[in-house]
Amino acid sequence: MDIDLTRRLFRAMLAARQYDRKAASIQKQGRLATYAPFEGQEAAQIGSAAALRPDDWMVATYRDAAAMWMQGYPWPHLLLTRMGDERGGSPPEGVQVLPPSITVGAHMLHAVGLAWAARLQGSDRIAITYFGDGATSEGDFHEAMNFAGVYRTGTVFICQNNQYAISLSRHQQTASETIAGKADAYGIPGVLVDGNDLLAMYRATSEAVTRARDGQGATLIEALTYRLGPHTTSDDPTQYRDADEVEQWRAKDPLDRIRLYLANEGAWDEEWEAAITAEAQEEIDRAVEEAEALPPLGPEEMFETMFAEMTPQLVEQQRWLLASREGPT
Amino acid sequence: MTVMNMAQAITDALDIALTTDPRVMVMGEDVGRTGGVFRLTSGLQPTHGEARVVDTPVAESGIVGTAFGLALAGMRPVVEIQFMGFSYPAYDQIVSHVGRIRNRSRHRFTAPMVIRMPYGGGIGAAEHHSESTEALYAHTPGVKVVVPSTPYDAKGLLLAAIEDPDPVVFLEPIRLYRAVKEDIPGGHFVVPIGRARLERTGDDVTLVAYGSMIRDARHAADVLSEEGVSVEVIDLRSLVPLDVETLVESVEKTGRAVVIHEGHRTAGFGAELVARIQEEALYSLLAPVQRVTGWDTIFPLKRTEEYYLPDVNRIVQAAHRTLEG
């Protein structure tokens, strides 16, 4: 990978970590609802998303803010999704990223349909989808991989195997030796990648994206990584894993690894990192301010977004709610 | 004008949609090569090609979830679920994604798609093949639920559903697929979604039904009119949105109502209809509203399905109860 790109992606990983820590910290202050941190998974997300074209589709989950941001989903929108404001689900026009999926597994099928549509429309746009090791036990994982195989859709499946689905360890999740190996069952290639290696993630995803764009079909990438934090801010991971294990993975922090690489290449120094960290901090602080400055939606609004045109039932329900807000008369 | 039964009318509507709108696709189990288990998509694949009339793997969640992705990207998929009783694996996609995306993205992403489901009993089918669980879908925010009872309405409502900017669950009464023929216009026309149809006008009692039950309601009305009872029959045609106005106007006139469906009784769609009638027309009522429904049992198999299905006797008796008061 070109050294300038590597530096740019290192900066993106730093920004993502700033975001993640900021989000977890303001959650503690009650400014966000439950938050699902991704610390430790920055290389898996940034490295894969960097391989995309801006018009490619992305269908990701509540733990994939770094990947979504790389593909154009603004930080304030990502924060809004966690602040309990549906406008977070509405990225600006041109951003081809669906709002984060909260249910586990069902969304992979959407990436199959999106990529299929692109081909029918004569476009070489592809669709990438992110999910965790837990999602591979859902029936929809099987159905999505199967449909992608049968119709050779240009879908890239990124499984961030972060070793735990809430409390369930990877070995309790599946008896398969690897998750990548499951791809064999669907006639598509499966690739096992060191998910904490930015360069490896970028390279493997670029190859999968090229295959998808060239009409050669889907790829499953298993990014072997680790969730350093809790499942969500409501979770206590000490109940199901040892501190030793966390420390072992802490030593493989993807940020440290790419920093070391850049330093060896003579492309890193402390001053630069301090500067880009400050920049990122400012960017994230601004995003928090922007998201928090948005006044809450009015009571009329939810009725107006169910259909293109409100049904008579929604019109009357909206009227009743508005009347009730006037007081008990 | 062409004489067609409901099955032919649906095929015709699909053919017209595929011909006039390049975004339209038909997909489902066995819909291509064999034309579907009821042969409603017969002839479509040879005419429109394998890319647009697509045989899918046997996976309802996969079909609906993939179609959802296609719809998000600007296609107009028309999905066939082989029988309503097989739709439940796809229910998660419908309730968790299809019906939600416009709301959760504040109009940024939409899923205009149609999910066709043959429903209902009366043909002595195997277990799971006679379900009538429309209340599940009517209870699901963000999807419209449409149920035709005539060939004309089936064609016009299906074309309207395909052109609708939002997802539509389109329920097709299996029993009526080939039951009657009528003269319907060739070419394109739509029947607007959300408007009930007055099947027959009368002054003494209103029978409210939809889909497969319209035929039984009509027969019951014949019996009642021989007794000198003047019966109004409303064909709802659409459960979501619901044409409450037509319903209330009729009950205000007749003062009596019987609501009829073959779905299970408890928390069935009839409960909603009775609630609406009492909310808006209580003081016009001369008698309690009656429900004639399927039972809270598993739909029985061939030899006993007649015990389950609402029939003329049950409808006439219910109407009599409203007239006793």
Kindly list the domain boundaries of chain A, sorted by start residue: 3-297, 298-329
Contacts of B280 (CB under 8 A, 6+ apart): B244, B248
What distance in Å separates the CA atoms of residue B45 and residue A85, rounded to the nearest whole number? 45
Closest CA to B195 of B137, B239, B233: B239
Q: Are the beta carbons of A103 and B141 separated by less than 8 Å?
A: no
Q: Are the beta carbons of A113 and B71 separated by less than 8 Å?
A: yes
Secondary structure tally for chain B: helices H, strands E: 12, 14
| pLDDT of A261 above 70 | yes
* Coil vs helix vs strand at B202: coil
Structure-token pair, residue A47: 């490295």
Q: Are the beta carbons of A308 and B240 separated by less than 8 Å?
A: no
Q: Are the beta carbons of A313 and B241 separated by less than 8 Å?
A: yes
DSSP string, B60-111: HHHHHHHHHHHHHTT-EEEEE-S-GGG-HHHHHHIIIIITTHHHHTTTSS--
Q: Kindly report the average pLDDT of chain A as a whole number.
A: 97
Cβ atoms B52, A151 nearer than 8 A? no
What distance in Å separates the CA atoms of residue B175 and residue B172, rounded to the nearest whole number? 9
Q: Kindly report the average pLDDT of chain B as a whole number.
A: 97
| pLDDT of A328 above 90 | no
What per-residue string of b and e applies to A104-115 under the rule 16 or more CB within 10 Å gives b? Answer: bbbbbbbbbbbb
Straight-line distance from the first to the last Cα atom of chain A, in angstroms, rounded to the nearest whole number: 69
- Give the distance, in angstroms, between the CA of residue B6 and the centroid of all CA atoms in the same chain: 12
Among chain A, residues having any CB pair with chain B shorter than 8 Å are 57, 59, 86-87, 89-91, 93, 98-99, 103, 106-118, 120-121, 127, 139-140, 143-144, 146-147, 150, 302, 305-308, 311-313
DSSP string, B215-280: HHHHHHHHHHHHTT--EEEEE--EEETT-HHHHHHHHHHHS-EEEEESS-STT-HHHHHHHHHHHH
B107: nearest CA in chain A? A305
Using alpha carbons, list the distances in angstroms from residue B91 to B140, B141, B309. Answer: 10, 12, 25
A268 min Cα distance to partner chain B (Å): 40
Return the DSSP state at B203. Answer: S
Contacts of B288 (CB under 8 A, 6+ apart): B321, B322, B325
Partners of residue B25 in chain A, C-beta under 8 Å = 120
Average pLDDT on A26-40 reads 95
ipTM of the complex: 0.97
| pLDDT of A287 above 90 | yes
Q: Are the beta carbons of B69 and A121 separated by less than 8 Å?
A: no
Residue percentage of chain B with pLDDT more than 70? 100
Peptide bond into B241 cis (omega under 30): yes
Give me the torsion for CA of A169, A174, A175, A178, rounded to 10°: -90
* Coil vs helix vs strand at B205: strand
Please give the CATH topology (third level) of the domain spanning B2-184.
Rossmann fold (3.40.50)
pLDDT digit string, tens, across residues A109-168: 999 999 999 999 999 999 999 999 999 999 999 999 999 999 999 999 999 999 999 999
Structure-token pair, residue A6: 């590597």
| pLDDT of B220 above 70 | yes
Residue A191 pairs in a beta bridge with A221
What distance in Å separates the CA atoms of residue A99 and residue B102, rounded to the nearest whole number? 11
Find the CB nearest B68 among A99, A110, A127. Answer: A110
What distance in Å separates the CA atoms of residue B145 and residue A71, rounded to the nearest whole number? 36
B60 min Cα distance to partner chain A (Å): 9
B211: left (phi over 0), alpha (psi -120 to 50) or beta: left
What distance in Å separates the CA atoms of residue A228 and residue B229, rounded to the nearest whole number? 75
What distance in Å separates the CA atoms of residue B144 and residue A311, rounded to the nearest whole number? 10
Using alpha carbons, list the distances in angstroms from residue B177 to B150, B216, B320, B321, B325. Answer: 9, 15, 31, 32, 38
Under CATH, which architecture does the A3-297 domain have?
Answer: 3-Layer(aba) Sandwich (3.40)
Partners of residue A140 in chain B, C-beta under 8 Å = 61-62, 65
State pTM to two decimals: 0.97
Domains B2-184 and B197-324 share a fold: yes
Straight-line distance from the first to the last Cα atom of chain B, in angstroms, rounded to the nearest whole number: 46
| pLDDT of A264 above 70 | yes
pLDDT digit string, tens, across residues B26-62: 999 999 999 999 999 999 999 999 999 999 999 999 9
Q: Residue B173 — φ and ψ, nearest 5°? A: -70, 110
Residue type (1 letter), B260: I
A59: nearest CA in chain B? B69
Using alpha carbons, list the distances in angstroms from residue B272 to A243, B210, B246, B278. Answer: 56, 14, 15, 10
Q: Are the beta carbons of A113 and B240 separated by less than 8 Å?
A: no
Q: Would you tell me how many other CB atoms lie within 10 Å of the CB of residue A127?
A: 32
Return the DSSP state at A266. Answer: T
Report how many Cβ contacts below 8 Å link chain A to chain B: 137
Return the DSSP state at A97. Answer: B
Q: What local confidence, expressed as pLDDT, does residue B325 receive?
A: 59
Kindly list the domain boundaries of chain B, sorted by start residue: 2-184, 197-324
Q: Are the beta carbons of B66 and A308 separated by less than 8 Å?
A: no
What distance in Å separates the CA atoms of residue A151 and residue A13, rounded to the nearest whole number? 35
pLDDT digit string, tens, across residues B253-288: 999 999 999 999 999 999 999 999 999 999 999 999
Q: What local confidence, expressed as pLDDT, does residue B321 receive?
A: 98
What distance in Å separates the CA atoms of residue B20 and residue B218, rounded to the nearest whole number? 36
Give the residue numbers of B marked as catalytic: 129
Partners of residue A150 in chain B, C-beta under 8 Å = 57
Partners of residue A115 in chain B, C-beta under 8 Å = 69
Return the DSSP state at B298. Answer: P
Q: Are the beta carbons of A312 and B74 separated by less than 8 Å?
A: no
What distance in Å separates the CA atoms of residue B98 and residue A101, rounded to the nearest whole number? 12
Partners of residue A144 in chain B, C-beta under 8 Å = 62, 65-66
Find the CB nearest A307 among B62, B102, B106. Answer: B102
A306 min Cα distance to partner chain B (Å): 5
Please give the CATH topology (third level) of the domain spanning B197-324.
Rossmann fold (3.40.50)
CA triple B152-B155-B160, angle to 5 deg: 120
Indicate the pairing of strand B231-235 with strand B197-200: antiparallel
Indicate the pairing of strand A168-169 with strand A164-165: antiparallel
